Chain A
Amino acid sequence: MITILRIRLKLYIHELSIFFGLLAMSILFTFIFGASFKSNYKPLICIVDQDQSYLSQTFVESLNYNTTIKTLITDEETASKHVKSDKAIASILFEKGFNDAFNHNQAKVTLVKTKDIAEIYLVKNIIQKTAFTINHDTLVYNSTLNYLRQNEIQINEKSLMDSISKTAKDSWNKKLTYHLNSYFHNHYVADENATLKHYLIGYALMFSIFFVFFGIGSIIDEKRNYVWQRQIVSPISRLSVTTGNMIATTFMGFLQIFFMVYGGKFLFGIDWGQHDLSVLIVLTAFVFSTTCLGLLIASLVKTQQQLSSIVPIITVGTSMLGGCMWSLEMIDSKILLFLADLTPQKWALQSIEKMVIYGYGMEIILLPISILILMGIVYLLLAWSFTRKRA
C-alpha cells in the first residue's frame, strides 16, 4: 500500500503544474466570491405605507434599519412599476387599517414579488421579527399599564409605550436577548452575506469534487496504460491498491481545500466563521467521500473519455441536488429532499453553513462527518468489490 501511495504522490508531483493551476483557479474563485462579500450590491424593496400608523411606521423603520436591502417609500403605482421592470425585487404594502388589524391579530402585509431570491426570505424574516418584537413590546406595555392602573398610578400612556419600545429596541439591538433566542429556537440570525456565503461554500465543494476527480483521472490512466493490470498481477492486494489510491487522492484533495480555506482567509480575508478548523475537518470528510465515489466510478468506467463524459454530470447533478447552487430551503418536494440527503454535498454544505453563517459551535459537525465517512466507506467497499469482480 505504501508503494501505491508513493507512486501516486510521485505522479502528482509530475503533474504539479496542473495541480497549481486548479489550485490557483479555486483560490481565485474564492477571492471573487470573497470580494463580493464586501460589495455594495443591495436589492431595492419598495414600501407602500397606506396606513401611516405608529405600527406601520415601526415596520418601515425596521426594514430601513437593515443594511442588506435598500428601501424606497413610495406609492402603490410606482412600486408596482418598479417591481414589474425588475428595478425592485419586491414591494411591501401596509394597507389602511393595518394598525387596528394588528391589534386584533388579523394584520396583513402584502408582499409583491416576481421571483424567489434569498433577499425575499430576508425581508419576510425582518417582518416576522418586527411583528414579534412589536407583539412583545405591546404585551409588556399592556401588563405594565394594567399593573400601574391596579395600583392607581397615573401615567402618560404614550410616553410609557415609547419608553418601553425604546428600552426593548436597545436591548434587541445589542442582540444579546436575540442571540439566546436564536440558539434555542434555531432562528435566523440575519447575516447579510448569507446568500453569498452559501454560494461560496457551494462552489468550494464543487471545486474539490473536480479536483478529486482529476486525481481519479490519473487512476483511470493507469488502466489505459495497462499499469493497473500489472498491479493486479503483482502481490499487492487489490484492497491495498484501492486503499492506497484512496488515501493519496484524499490527501491531495485535502491539500487543495487546505490552501483554499486558509489561502482565502489570509490572502483575501474571507471569513470562515470562528471554526475554520471544523470547516476543514468537514471538508476533509467530504473529500474522502467524494474520493471514494470517484474510485467507485473508476472501477466502473474503462476510459478517460467515459470518465470525462460522466464527471460533469455527476458533479453538477449532485451539486444541484445537494444544494450547492441554491438553498435547499426553497425546495418542497419530498423526493428531491430525500435525494439531497444522499449527496455528500448536502451534509458538508449544511454543516459548514451552520458554522460559518449561523455561528453554530463545532459540536454540530459530528453527525455530518459520520454520515460522510459512512458514505465513503460504502462507496469504497463497492469500488473494491467491483475491482475484484472485474478479474
Chain B
Amino acid sequence: MSFLSVENLSKKFKEVTAVDGISFSLEKGEILGLLGPNGAGKSTTISMISTLLRPDTGEIMYENTSILKKPKRIQAQLGYVPQEIALYPTLSGRENLEFWGRAYGLKGSHLKNRVNTISEIIGIKERLKDKVKNYSGGMKRRLNIGAALLHEPELIIMDEPTVGIDPQSRKHILDTVLELNKQGMTVIYTSHYMEEVEYLCNKICIMDKGLIIANGTKDELVQMLNDRKKINIKVDQVNDKVINTIRNLKNVDNVLHEDTTIKVTMKNYKQNTFKELIDRLSEAQITIHSVAVNEPNLEAVFLHLTGRELRD
C-alpha cells in the first residue's frame, strides 16, 4: 500500500468542476509535483487531501486509513502551507510561530526550541520580534512555510509557496524543501513553474482543467516528446525555397524562421533526418553558423498535451 493514495477524487463548485476524478499515489520520502496552469485544480486537490474541503466523490487513504472517515489521522502529521499567506498580520513572527506550534500541541521549552530552529531554517531569526505586516513579501512567504514545519510533520503539502517573490528567496525555499526531504519528509508541491517542479520532484502530475493529463518521473514525461526535438540552425542567409524544401522533408513537423535562424520541429526524430537537413542547406549554398538541438522539457510536454502554453 502507498503512503498516500488518491482514488477517483472529484470536487464541483456549482457549475465548475474543479477536480474531475483524479487518481495518484505517493510513497514515503518522495517529492510529488502537481504542475498545472491557473485554475487547473491543484489547490482544490490538496485542500481535499489536507481535510479543508470534502470531496464529492473518491477516497483518500493515508497510511491505509481513510482520512475522509478519520481526518484526525492525517491532521497531526501534516504540514500545510496554503497558497495565500495565512498568518496574523498584527502579531509578531514569534507569536505566529508559537501559535501554530501550540495548535499542533507543542509546549514549553520544546516549543521554544522548535521556534528557534525553524526561524533559523527559514532565515527570519533577526526579525522574529517584528510584526508580520511589516515583513517583506519574501519573508512572509518563508514564515508561511515555517508555520507548517514546527511540529516536524511527516507529510508537507505546499501550495505554490514561491509565488511573487524574488529569485533569492525562491532559491532558499527550494533548497529548504530539498533539505527537509533529505531529513525524511514526504512532500507534495504544487506550482505552475515547471523549472521548480523539474528541480525538486521525483514524481510529477501534470494537471489541466481538473484532470491529470500526464504523470510519471520527469524523464518518463519528457520521453513522450523525445522524438519531437526542436532544432535551431543559425545560418548566413535564408530564402523561401530552402524553407519549403525543409518543410517537405519526411520527419519535419514545422519550420519557422526569424532573421537568419531556422527553427525546425521534428515529428519523428531520427539521426538521418538531421543529416538530411544539413545536406539540403549545403546544397542551397547556405553557410551554417551553429546548430542547437533542444531537449524537450515539461513546458513542451504541456504544450504538446494541451496545445497551450503552461503560463498564460
Contacts and interface: CB of A to CB of B under 8 A. Distances in A.
B184 interface: no
A390 to B, nearest CB: 9
Contacts of B91: 7, 10-11, 14
B50 interface: yes
Interface string B100-142: 1011110000000000000000000000000000000000000
A225 B103 CA distance: 17
A136 interface: no
Which range contains the number of B residues in contact with the other chain?
20 to 34
A41 interface: no
Nearest to B99: A7
Which range contains the number of A residues in contact with the other chain?
20 to 34
A229 B86 contact: yes
Contact of A226 (B76, B85, B99, B102): B85
A391 interface: yes
What is the interface of chain B mostly: helix, strand, loop, or mixed?
A: loop
Interface string B42-65: 000000001111100000000000
Contact of A11 (B51, B85, B90): B90
A225 B80 contact: no
Contacts of B87: 225, 227
Given A234-B100, A391-B52, A227 B105 contact: no
A233 B82 CA distance: 10
A131 to B, nearest CB: 65
Nearest to A230: B86
Interface string B248-286: 000000000000000000000000000000000000000
What is the interface of chain A mostly: helix, strand, loop, or mixed?
A: helix
Contact of B89 (A6, A225, A230, A233): A225
Contact of A225 (B53, B86, B105): B86
A321 B200 CA distance: 62
A230 B147 contact: yes
Contact of A234 (B54, B95, B103): B103
Interface string B191-203: 0000000000000
Interface string A224-248: 0111011111111000000000000
Given A227-B86, A227-B87, A391-B54, A235 B80 contact: no
Contacts of B147: 230
A235 B72 contact: yes
Given A15-B90, A226-B85, A234-B75, A6 B102 contact: yes
Interface of B: 50-54, 72, 75-76, 78, 80, 82, 84-91, 95, 99-100, 102-105, 147
23 contacts: A3-B99, A3-B102, A6-B99, A7-B88, A10-B99, A14-B91, A15-B90, A225-B85, A225-B87, A226-B85, A227-B87, A227-B88, A229-B52, A230-B82, A231-B103, A232-B51, A233-B51, A233-B75, A233-B78, A233-B80, A234-B75, A235-B72, A235-B103
